[in-house]
Structure 1
Amino acid sequence: MSNELIEGELPEDIVAELREAKATLEHHGLADRLTELIGAPITASIRMLPNIAEDALNAAVDKSLQTALKVALRTLGEETKGGKPKLISHKLMAGLSGAAGGAFGLSTVALELPVSTVLILRSVADIARSQGEDLTDVQTQLACLEVFAIDGGKRDDEKGGDINDETEIGYFAVRAAMSKQVADASKYVMKHGVSETAAPPLVKLLQLIGKRFGMVVSEKLAAQAIPVIGAVGGALINSYFIDHYQDLARAHFTVRRLEREYGHLLVEEAYQRIDADA
């Protein structure tokens, strides 16, 4: 029976929804998708990137998240129309942006990444709205940015082992780690408005998100740097990039919707009991 209560007090169909969300949030990494596309491990390509690429990457990630923050706080509240998320149109635009990156290489990352990031953010917001979120709420706007810090794909370090606990942590642990920064940023915006996005509470939040977002971007950049990829491959990689975050957004805002309906503690307890590999 779909209404049978299991996993504490959650109905069976809700647990199934939560199980699907967990499988996405903690077991679908971008590196795995790109490895299947290219036919070679992305981790090996990352190690071959020149040091200058790392500097360019960090600068591009900072710029992209700053731009995304401004968009989130200043314009997402205007996007309140109903209807299904425009996932395909956002993906097509991201593909066009990625084509430029693939054609002209690493030198375009500073121009291409902010465009792709904003496209992803708008798609994430579209998904949030479709899950009943209020895009005029500052906390919802920041929850859209949180998606850039979520990535459950497992990665290896240079010695072949798992990366450290700072980056390899579960979905609820990521949210818990950001909770203070999100709360401080929300309070600041509600008190001072959105005119100053370089304020310390907002900068601290972006730095925390940037550490995790930068890892995923490095995987994307490594794939685009492969000589045979070119413009067509760059477009395809960028479509994978936005598709990855669309999937994460669907799962993230599904969990948040269930939390509104059943309470945070009950949902988290049921989530932690789920064996997502089953």
Structure 2
Amino acid sequence: MTKPSTSAQTILLTDDQAQTIDLGAELDLLARRYRRAGGVGLQILNIVGDSAEGLLKRLPSGVRSRLDQTTEAALTTAMQAAHGSRRYVSDQPDWVNRVVTTSMGAAGGFGGLPSALAELPVTTTILLRTIQGVAVEHGFDPESDGVQFDCIRVFASAGPLAQDDGTDLAFLTTRVAVSGTAVHGLVAKVAPRLATVLGQKLAAQTMPVLGAFAGALTNYAYTSYYQEMAHIHFRLRKLAIETDHDHADLVADLQARVAKPRLKRS
């Protein structure tokens, strides 16, 4: 049978393929991915000795006041660069992307705030390209407006330093009429949310002495986090196609699994 995806891409499945999917096991796996997505972020907070909110206070007031504008510009540029790069550079494995962004984070942190600001749009582009690569891995077309829209929403997740209770899953399931205009409108909408996330990253990179190390660890955490969130998001999209379940119902089921207390081993 054939079912159209929400990204306007068609994926062909046989009845046998659809019947062999263990939906409960798939959702349990995604719940585990979700729980570990922000684990490295806690290490960053332990190293810098501050809360996520406290990190933002470390930034100069002039930088804080321009974070929304800076983030929207970086994200807009990243969208163009990420799509343009697909003609010349193939998608890389997850570990390669982590190595590249970790190295860039160290370089950005080594020079303090000026180098961290210069590194920000480049890392943003690589992160967005990484999310696109995950979409391709799950069978979606990154050139379609629907998938571009989804990639931006993945990027608008709270980030590894946030204390999240699963609300990002609800945020990521919101659907609107998707068009090129809607994609650009979403950039402006999510910029304030993403500005807080990237502001915390910048602050960690400007830590005295620890800047380069914190920058490397921050970029590693952010890359790992967005890779995990992208895998969760696009696997849910594909599961909705493969099992003929409503996507919102799958998200609600996953939220319940994430919130369920884990049994401790005796």
Instruction: Quickly name the TM-score band, shorter chain normalised.
Output: 0.7 to 0.9
**Residue in structure 2 matched with residue 119 of structure 1 by the alignment:** 126
The reply on whether 1:148 has 2:155 as its aligned counterpart is yes
SS of 1:15's equivalent? helix
| Aligned AA (2:29) | E
The separation in 2 between residues aligned to 1:272 and 1:14, in whole angstroms, is 13
Which of 36, 40, 59 matches 2:46? 36
Give me the identity figure in percent.
Answer: 25
Alignment map for 1:48-87 (pairs within 5 Å): 48-71=58-81, 74=84, 76=86, 78=87, 85-87=92-94
The Cα of 1:116 is off from its aligned counterpart by 0.1
Asked if 2 retains the 8 angstrom alpha-carbon contact of 1:19 and 1:276, the reply is no
The separation in 2 between residues aligned to 1:251 and 1:123, in whole angstroms, is 14
Cα-to-partner distance string for 1:69-91 (whole Å, 9 max, x where unaligned) = 22355555x58978xx5122222
The reply on whether 1:268 has 2:265 as its aligned counterpart is no
The Cα of 1:66 is off from its aligned counterpart by 0.6
Asked if 1 retains the 8 angstrom alpha-carbon contact of 2:45 and 2:52, the reply is yes
SS of 1:132's equivalent? coil
CA RMSD of aligned residues (A): 3.2
**Residue in structure 2 matched with residue 45 of structure 1 by the alignment:** 55
**Residue in structure 2 matched with residue 93 of structure 1 by the alignment:** 100
Which of 168, 171, 174 matches 2:171? 174
TM superposition score normalised by structure 1: 0.72
Cα-to-partner distance string for 1:222-264 (whole Å, 9 max, x where unaligned) = 2112112233442332222222212222222222222222221
| Aligned AA (1:173) | A
TM superposition score normalised by structure 2: 0.75
**Residue in structure 2 matched with residue 196 of structure 1 by the alignment:** none
The reply on whether 1:19 has 2:31 as its aligned counterpart is yes
Asked if 2 retains the 8 angstrom alpha-carbon contact of 1:172 and 1:268, the reply is yes
Which of 107, 110, 123 matches 1:103? 110
Asked if 1 retains the 8 angstrom alpha-carbon contact of 2:207 and 2:214, the reply is no
**Residue in structure 2 matched with residue 133 of structure 1 by the alignment:** 140
SS of 1:23's equivalent? helix
Aligned length: 240
Instruction: Assess, with a 3 A threshold, how the Cα gap between structure 1 residues 129 and 109 changes in structure 2: closer, same or farther.
Output: same
SS of 1:17's equivalent? helix
Asked if 1 retains the 8 angstrom alpha-carbon contact of 2:170 and 2:251, the reply is no
Asked if 1 retains the 8 angstrom alpha-carbon contact of 2:99 and 2:220, the reply is yes
Q: Flag as ranges the 4+ runs of structure 1 deviating above 4 A.
A: 72-76, 78-82, 152-156
**Residue in structure 2 matched with residue 241 of structure 1 by the alignment:** 222
SS of 1:215's equivalent? helix
Asked if 1 retains the 8 angstrom alpha-carbon contact of 2:117 and 2:202, the reply is no
Instruction: Assess, with a 3 A threshold, how the Cα gap between structure 1 residues 12 and 74 changes in structure 2: closer, same or farther.
Output: same
Instruction: Assess, with a 3 A threshold, how the Cα gap between structure 1 residues 151 and 233 changes in structure 2: closer, same or farther.
Output: closer
Instruction: Assess, with a 3 A threshold, how the Cα gap between structure 1 residues 257 and 202 changes in structure 2: closer, same or farther.
Output: closer
Flag structure 2 segments of 5+ consecutive residues without an equivalent.
Answer: 1-18
The separation in 2 between residues aligned to 1:234 and 1:22, in whole angstroms, is 23
| Aligned AA (1:46) | L
